[in-house]
Amino acid sequence: MKTNLIQAYQTGNSPILQKYKSDKAAKDFDINKELSTHTFIKPLPGNGHLVKTNIFDIPSELFKDFKYSLNSVKHAITGDANDHELGKINDVGMKLGGLAIAGYLATRKQTPLTKVMEFVGLTSFFAAMDIWPKLALQLPAYLIHGVDVRQQYVDNYGRKKFFYQDHQFIPWDLYSDDEINKIGDRLGVDKNMKNRRAYIQEKMRKIALQNNTMWMLTSGIATPILSALICNAAEKPILRLQEKMAAQKANDLLKNVTQESQKYKFKDENKQLEALLETYKGKNITPEFIEKLSANLSEWYDIGTRAKLKQDLTNLFGNKNYNVDDEVLGNVYSALKDEFKKFKLDDEIINQIMPSKDEIKTSFIERGLLTEGIKDLSEHKKAINSLITRNVKTYAQNNPNSSVNNILNMYIKNLMHSKNKTDFSPLEKALRSNQSAKLTDGIISQIHSINTLMHGFISRVFVLDKYAYIRAAQAPETMLADNWNNITESLLKTFNFTDSEIKKSRLDRTFAGDILKEKFEKIVSDDELYKQTIEDLRKKLSELPTENVFGQESEQLKIGNAKYQSMVDDVFNAMGKKLSELGLDSTAAAVSGYDDSGRTSLKGIQKNFLTDRIRGVKSSFYRILNTLDFYRRVHEGMNFNSQTFKYLDDVSKKELLDLCKKTLIDGHLSDYSVKLYSKRSLDHLANTADKDLVELANDKNFFKAFMEIIYNEELNSKTLEGIKDTVFGSDFARYREDIFKFLGGYEYFPKRFHKVFDYEVKSGSDFKFNLLGSSLDEMFNNLCKQKFNSTKWLKTFGTIGAVLTAGTVLSQFFFGKLPGKENS
Amino acid sequence: MILPINIKFNDKTPKFYGEESGKKPDEMYDGDTLLENNFSTRARIGVDKITKAFTVYPVKGMTGSINSNFYEFLTMGNVPYIIGSITLMSIFNAYKSYAHRDKLRASQLGNKMALGVLFYGLFKEFSKNFIDKPVKWFTGIDTQIPYARVIHQLQQSPQDSDLTSIEYHKIGESVDFTRWDLLYKKTGTPEHNLIFDKIAKKNGLGENLNDSDQEVKPIYKEVLIKSNLARTISSYLWAAVGVGLAFQNSWKHYFKVMNFKIWQPKVFAHSIKIFGKSALKATESFLNGKEKSKSIAGKHSGKILLGTALASTILGLANTLHITKKPSKSNIKSVMNDKKETVVC
């Protein structure tokens, strides 16, 4: 507890009083006399001091502030806090609220980056609040005037405050004469001025007040803008860091698939399974039970595998023997009744021809059909049939003129047989309602084994899925997305898009396509420029993942991907084998396929996910290179080896080349699938034998020539030179071959996995789509849109921020002016 | 000999003026004056503060006036709050020059951001009542009583004639220097301690106390501190709830029909109706979380956030109402031991 200043006077032995009695005090100073006359009451010298910290003190200062804030909360809880501490609680609350907002919004975001950015946003906001007055006010004021306008001091009670916080109470005594004079010198105050200290203090006060006011007026604009700019700048480094972490995480996942898979417990499913087994234990295995069981065991599987498992379980546990008892008889009777209703006959007729429950029972007893473990139910159907036939005959005899006599026999037929050959009739279903197989302990044990197997496998698949997601999913934080972003970001620079071109291209893909075409033509007509562009593309494309390799940058990833493929093989094949051993052959085939390739199975999907995703991305970039190369070849003259092309007349050649150039930029898969179906110029065909062939689809040579000259010709020598010895060279060559083969040849037409000329076609429409890649006009339209929007945003707020900063800094030159002649 | 220090209080009895005095607000304060804590006063003070924060105080500050003080600096704190909110809204709504589709997508986020900023302020301010009102009901202590403070400024030039300025403070805004003096009624009258009497009675200290003020002051101070803590922390958490609500997708229905043209009553009424519906749906989705989310955070984050805000309010309130600084019931007899010799000096 601090000493009461007045009491300190009254205590004769106080060290403070001793100080006044020391030699340093005025010799004629008598405190008692002074006090008794009431003429002089002056506070004792305080313990306050200016805070003088440097950059190295920041951590300890932060810690002290944090501790002080915690103590403030503690004191406030007990009701002992003071004003200063309550002020600190506001900071605590603001940060707590900010964390709550960031935390909540992060839970609503999908990707790790966007989650992290919520907290970055919060931190940057608080940072901006702190940085702005320091950089735009405190620093310039110090450099220009030599006055620290955000000087802090610690008061008698250890409370840290801003020196110029309250202009009606500035503790000037904390500044020594020397310090004030030094500041005065910087301020250019006359050294011989009377009351120099007071004058300097007034100038300092004024500068500080003006800066404080400026702070309040500007921070409302500066803080959000600065915060947004910090977030903008922070996004990329965070993404890079996150990518590294994600790559590490992916590799760890692959290394420890078994360990990772054990994290999945399937508690709910196991609980439900036990409840189901408990309910049915010792009872008949009914179709309903099989349905519930397969649904439980295959909860996390795809619909195809679920169906196969159900089929296998039915074959395994649901034997074909049935019991026929009173309950079944009841079901049969109800089914008959429902069926008769559908005939829409009069109740009177139905009552006459429909056998009663007792009649059916008697008939079954007479024929020895009311028993258990029956495999064949045809006798039961015959018994019922004969009863109805007898009744129908009786009815016909009694009512020879009835209009329904002729159709009753047909009704009986419908009653006995289902219209749908794959399903049982309602009557048969009723007869089969009591399956004789029971859920024994042995079967329960078997079910437990299947359950362990199914969960063990799917949890491994979850781990593999995680790996595949991190590597190549359609999400902004994957490595593949990073490849895409890195390359596309530089493309506008590579093709030298100006601001006005970006502005125009963002509006529509047609504009983007036209501009791109002009650019390509310009580039290919300039040797140096072409060489440079190919070099730029080479550098970028080298970062692309090839068939089984994720670019050249990481050997670790290369191994990782190959390991993923073999891991998928191991996990899925092992599962297939174990399923077969348990007698679940159909499920095994659904999981691992019929042969090693596993093409039609879950394994195929798991493996293809990565390769398909990678193919889609790299094809888009290969398309740029191929287009550029084609433009170059056209520029160097139409020396194509294609015989089909050579046979075309000059006008058609020109027409074809135009179409090639255009399609390479804006063509979609549909353009290839309709063989560039479009009207051609009629004029030059008028005198030829092909005059009726006005549509490209009918001109077989036109499309053939198109594919040959684009994809089947040698690359231009300059292109070849530019990309030789690159990691993607052979992959690019295969890309061209594949397009020629799968988009231009006969293989284009058959369905996937069908055989043509004894050769199995592997290309599906998804494969073709991925192979062709994104159309260049759309790609550049999107790139320009992004570029324009982000540049516009940055320009708008960057300018506002820059103007505000400049204005704030410049305003220092108008601060601290006192009326009158300053140096007098 | 140490003489007692004779502190000379200003003899002038504070003058209180009611509304019936008919004077204009700025003219009616001869001295610091207690004001009624009602909506009208609060609104008037709010308008006064905001107006001056944007006009008088910046001018005084920028000219380096010797009369600028901490109150003016704090009041100017409203400026970055308001301008900052507008800037924040603008940052996320600066899409005028974007292509149509981009504009549409940006506007969806921009609108949410703007609503978030608005809800932040509204929830923060309104939630303070969750503490202030119950505290007043249970303890009789109104922690938010405003008073007008008359400031006699220094003359800066011979032409300065209007040297009085009015500041609006709250009795309990400082726990170290609470304006107890304003809580007393007219000196020498039975009502002198009226406010303290009422609080003493409400808190079970008894009636007709000789020194109800002395008994009540520790309690009053404790309530001021504790309610300040509860109000501050909980209001920021309620503000977070407001932002959470504003970020629900259901607001998109409202954004489609959003209209502020009061002079078109039909359109405006429809807009308000959809606002209500969207608010209900937003509350629902805020509480239920993301439908397909497997994580606890994804499913229950809304409930957790609301629960935290509620808990902070309830705990803060409970702590405030749990008064520990009531004077002891001990009387003089128990303190003084008759059997022992006692020296009274």
Share of chain B above pLDDT 70, in %: 82
What confidence tens digit (pLDDT) does each residue in B147-203 have?
A: 999 988 888 777 777 778 899 999 999 999 999 999 988 887 878 888 999 999 988
Contact A789 B66 (CB under 8 A): no
Decide if B16 is inside a domain. no
Mean pLDDT of chain A: 83
Decide if B9 is inside a domain. no
Position B228 confidence tier, pLDDT thresholds 50, 70, 90: very high
**B6: which chain A residues are within 8 Å (Cβ-Cβ)?**
38
A290, pLDDT greater than 60: yes
What confidence tens digit (pLDDT) does each residue in A533-572 have?
A: 999 988 888 876 554 444 434 444 444 567 788 889 899 9
In this complex, is the C-beta atom of A400 within 8 Å of any C-beta atom belonging to chain B?
Answer: no
Mean per-residue pLDDT, A127-136: 92
In this complex, is the C-beta atom of A219 within 8 Å of any C-beta atom belonging to chain B?
Answer: yes
Q: For the residues of B258-274, what is the DSSP string, one character each?
A: ----TTSHHHHHHHHHH
Mean per-residue pLDDT, A73-88: 93
Q: Within a 10 A sphere around the Cβ of A72, how many other Cβ atoms?
A: 22
Do the interacting molecules here have an ipTM over 0.90? no
Position B3 confidence tier, pLDDT thresholds 50, 70, 90: very low
Decide if B165 is inside a domain. yes
Encoding tokens for residue A577? 């084998």
Q: Which residue of B has its CA nearest to A164?
A: B70
Instruction: Give Cβ neighbours of residue B345 (< 8 Å, ≥ 6 apart).
Output: none
User: Is A321 in contact with A285 (CB distance < 8 Å)?
Assistant: no
**The pLDDT of residue A42:** 64
Burial class (CB in 10 A: 0-12, 13-18, 19+), A550: buried
Q: For the residues of A219-240, what is the DSSP string, one character each?
A: HHHHHHHHHHHHHHHHHHHHHH
Contact A217 B247 (CB under 8 A): no
pTM: 0.69
In this complex, is the C-beta atom of A209 within 8 Å of any C-beta atom belonging to chain B?
Answer: yes
Contact B94 A73 (CB under 8 A): no
CB contacts < 8 A, A to B, total 181
Share of chain A above pLDDT 70, in %: 84
Position A14 confidence tier, pLDDT thresholds 50, 70, 90: low
**The pLDDT of residue B23:** 47
Number of domains forming the structure of chain B: 1
Mean per-residue pLDDT, B215-226: 94
**Candidate from B97, B98, B237 with C-beta closest to A100:** B237
What confidence tens digit (pLDDT) does each residue in A168-216 have?
A: 899 999 999 999 999 999 999 998 888 899 999 999 999 999 999 999 9
User: Is A206 in contact with A189 (CB distance < 8 Å)?
Assistant: no
Tell me how close the Cα of A714 comes to any Cα of chain B, in angstroms.
41
To which H or E segment does residue A608 belong? helix A602-635
Distance CA A584, CA B157 (A): 101
**Candidate from A79, A81, A793 with C-beta closest to B325:** A79
Contact A79 B324 (CB under 8 A): yes
Mean per-residue pLDDT, A229-250: 82
Encoding tokens for residue B286? 């805020």
Q: Which residue of A has its CA nearest to B83?
A: A220
**A94: which chain B residues are within 8 Å (Cβ-Cβ)?**
236
Range of the domain at B119: 23-327
Share of chain A above pLDDT 90, in %: 32
Question: In angstroms, what CA-CA distances link A422 with A294, A307, A318, A425, B185?
Answer: 21, 16, 18, 10, 97
Q: Which residue of B has its CA nearest to A98?
A: B240
Decide if B10 is inside a domain. no
Tell me how close the Cα of B87 comes to any Cα of chain A, in angstroms.
6
Q: Which residue of B has its CA nearest to A81?
A: B225
**A41: which chain B residues are within 8 Å (Cβ-Cβ)?**
5
Contact B81 A792 (CB under 8 A): no
Decide if B343 is inside a domain. no
Q: Within a 10 A sphere around the Cβ of A90, how many other Cβ atoms?
A: 15
Instruction: Give Cβ neighbours of residue B67 (< 8 Å, ≥ 6 apart).
Output: B60, B151, B153, B154, B156, B165
Tell me how close the Cα of A209 comes to any Cα of chain B, in angstroms.
6
Q: Using alpha carbons, select from A188, A179, A190 the residue that is nearest to residue A148.
A: A179
In this complex, is the C-beta atom of A101 within 8 Å of any C-beta atom belonging to chain B?
Answer: yes
What angle is formed at CA A434 by the lines to CA A433 and CA A435, rounded to 5 degrees? 110
Q: Which residue of B has its CA nearest to A816?
A: B64
**The pLDDT of residue A763:** 67
Contact B64 A205 (CB under 8 A): yes
B264, pLDDT greater than 70: yes
Decide if B289 is inside a domain. yes
Decide if B53 is inside a domain. yes
User: Is A543 in contact with A553 (CB distance < 8 Å)?
Assistant: yes
**The pLDDT of residue A28:** 65
